[in-house]
Structure 1
Amino acid sequence: MKDLVTINEIAKLANVSRTTVSRVLNNSGYVSDEARARVLKVIEETGYVPSHQAKSLRTKQTKVVGVILPKISTGTSSRVVMGMDEVFSERGYQILLANTNLQREKEIEFLNLLKSRRVDGIILLATNIDEKLVKEIENIDIPFVAVGQEIPHCSYVVHDDYNAAKTITNKLIEKGRKHIAFIGVYESDYAVGVLRKRGYIDALKEHDLAIEPSLIAVCDFKLESGYKAMEEIMMNAPVFPDGVFAATHRLAIGAMQYLKEKNVKIPDEISVASIGDSDLSKIYSPALTTIDYEYEEAGRKAAEILLRQIEEKNKEQQKITLGYRLIERDSI
């Protein structure tokens, strides 16, 4: 019966107006306790379920937001989404996740798909930003927020990658390391590939330490890539590195695995540090010194910005840079 009952029939059975039923369903406007009780009783007896599709047509809102992730299985993505969900759940919104699995063409595909699904807004956990993606984002006519990368003419929430990289490199220098290797990622990822490398280089310069190209390796984000990058550095560098800064914790763990297999003692012979904390960073031996970002807070901030755009029609660009925390463990 629940699929056949309409608001008009609820109103007739409860002997109230259609407006009164609507106010009860939406918990808005004045309704006497007696009338509210009659409406709720009829709803319970009939098993009436409001049509969300009809409601969305009236309000022009679906109460659904799309979130595009680079890789759904990573701890980083899950922590960001957890933060978002805290905010969205409180306001009655649902999250529709889209996983690109690090395939760049999927980002544009999902942007268009989510638009066609009439979501109220989109949050993109951005990695590689190119002109094609920027142009696509500029043409989006619904609320949009980026997380992790600065995108022109858009609201975004980012981490302080440059200063975080300087901080971790300075910590290695503080420990007396003078030949510090860097394992980074490709520069198509501006935040991780460019800013973290720049922070590393500037820290060395400020301490009058040489920039040694043979101590720098670039690869993708995989753990095994960190292993191979460390192998490349150890085989080709004319000087033995006494420190390693890896741009991500997975690259650092891969590098440490290679060093352990070659019986290089950590931290006695070489110190290792990274950006991005995880459960693996804590339980690996030796435990990894790293920079921890406020990933949950990034999700919360992005959700708050998007809701202001959706509910308050606030189109002012919000640009937020979050802080970080150095966690010193056994690897240095």
Structure 2
Amino acid sequence: MPTIKDIAEMANVSRTTVSRVLNNSGYVSEEVRKRILKIIEETGYVPSEHAKSLRTKQTKVIGVILPKISTETSSRLVSGIDEVLAEKGYQILLANTNLEKEKEIEYINLLKVRQVDGIILVATNINNDLVRVIHQLNIPLVVVGQEIPGVSNVLYDDYSAAREITSLFIKRGHKKIAFIGVDESDRAVGYLRKKGYLDVMAEHGLPVENEWVQKGVFDIESGYEAMKRIMENAKSRPTATFAVTDRLAIGAMKYLKEKGYSLPEEMALAGIGASEISNYVTPTLTTVDYLNKDAGREAAKLILNHILQNDKSIKKITLNYRLLIRDSI
């Protein structure tokens, strides 16, 4: 087993620098931090004091990796996780990737060397490197929001929710329905929600113009710009728009209002997320409530089951959702 001195020599840094990375304290440049974490991952290094702790007792700490700590979704998830874990005397150690997919692997490695008892990963982009690191992990892990084979997952029914929103537009008489999505490397939000929309349109024999389908990046401004591209470039103006998040939908709403369109008479809108602001914009936004706090509770129950019962079976939980029909349709 390598020592902290070995890691320092391989990384060409001091032992103090390695210690700072392990303890997440003090300044270390991003390039050096990544180099040290990569060596730790490749060598399987475990600090001696943590190894001793592992042999005698649990740390009673669960690492929770979030894509964006400031969102309502993250807040609700953490609330549900903490509610369940606190009852069993566990604490949470939060890590924020800020939607930078490479940081998911970095934080998994960092939490591993900190010897947390388990990890709950709220994943965004699934790639081969992430899957490899997860499968090599020797501590329990639960993934929320994306399906990764070989580990327990808590999932949202993204495909069905997208189908239901698109079908609702059609039932209300809309035939020209636009779509604002995100990159399909995010399988749940980018791929499955788009597939639900496209499948329903195809089943009803409704055309989808290329200009009606635009991408954003999870913020209001990109929803604004996507709606602008739709309205300025489409050969035929749509009468409804499905955005895969409330933020994108609210950005689209802002553009439409600035240009004088009447909502929902000239453009109906819907999003996903049931954000607090969705019930305060005018018109109030039709959306989907994914019951994120319930997702947090289920993820916490799964991780505790893996830890306390030594249950190595793989579980997949798909949660229900609520469609909230409001004034924007």
TM-score interval, smaller chain: 0.7 to 0.9
Q: What SS does the aligned partner of 1:192 have?
A: helix
One-letter amino acid matched to 1:305: L
Q: Distance in 2 between matches of 1:103 and 1:189?
A: 12
One-letter amino acid matched to 1:104: K
Q: What SS does the aligned partner of 2:264 have?
A: coil
Q: Distance in 1 between matches of 2:282 and 2:276?
A: 12
One-letter amino acid matched to 2:105: I
Identity within the alignment, %: 59
What TM-score comes out, normalization by structure 2 length? 0.83
1:60-99 → structure 2 map (5 Å cutoff): 60-99=57-96
- Which protein shows a greater Rg? 1
Match of 1:156 among 153, 158, 165: 153
1:208 alignment counterpart: 205
Shift of 1:203: 1.0
Superposition RMSD in Å:
1.4
Q: What SS does the aligned partner of 1:193 have?
A: helix
Aligned residues, how many? 280
Q: Distance in 1 between matches of 2:77 and 2:53?
A: 27
Shift of 1:278: 0.8
| 2:266 maps to 1:287 | no
1:132 alignment counterpart: 129
Q: Distance in 2 between matches of 1:291 and 1:57?
A: 42
Q: Distance in 2 between matches of 1:58 and 1:233?
A: 59
> Greater CA deviation, 213-222 or 133-142?
213-222
Shift of 1:105: 1.4
Match of 1:222 among 219, 222, 235: 219
1:331 alignment counterpart: 328
| 2:309 maps to 1:312 | yes
Q: Distance in 2 between matches of 1:78 and 1:173?
A: 33
Q: What SS does the aligned partner of 2:126 have?
A: coil
What TM-score comes out, normalization by structure 1 length? 0.82
2:29 alignment counterpart: none
1:192-271 → structure 2 map (5 Å cutoff): 192-271=189-268
Q: What SS does the aligned partner of 1:188 have?
A: coil
Q: Distance in 2 between matches of 1:140 and 1:56?
A: 18
Q: Distance in 2 between matches of 1:295 and 1:251?
A: 19
Indicate conservation of the 8 Å contact 2:54/2:115, yes or no: no
The 1:109/1:176 distance shift into structure 2, 3 A limit, reads same
Unaligned runs of 5+ in 2: 1-49
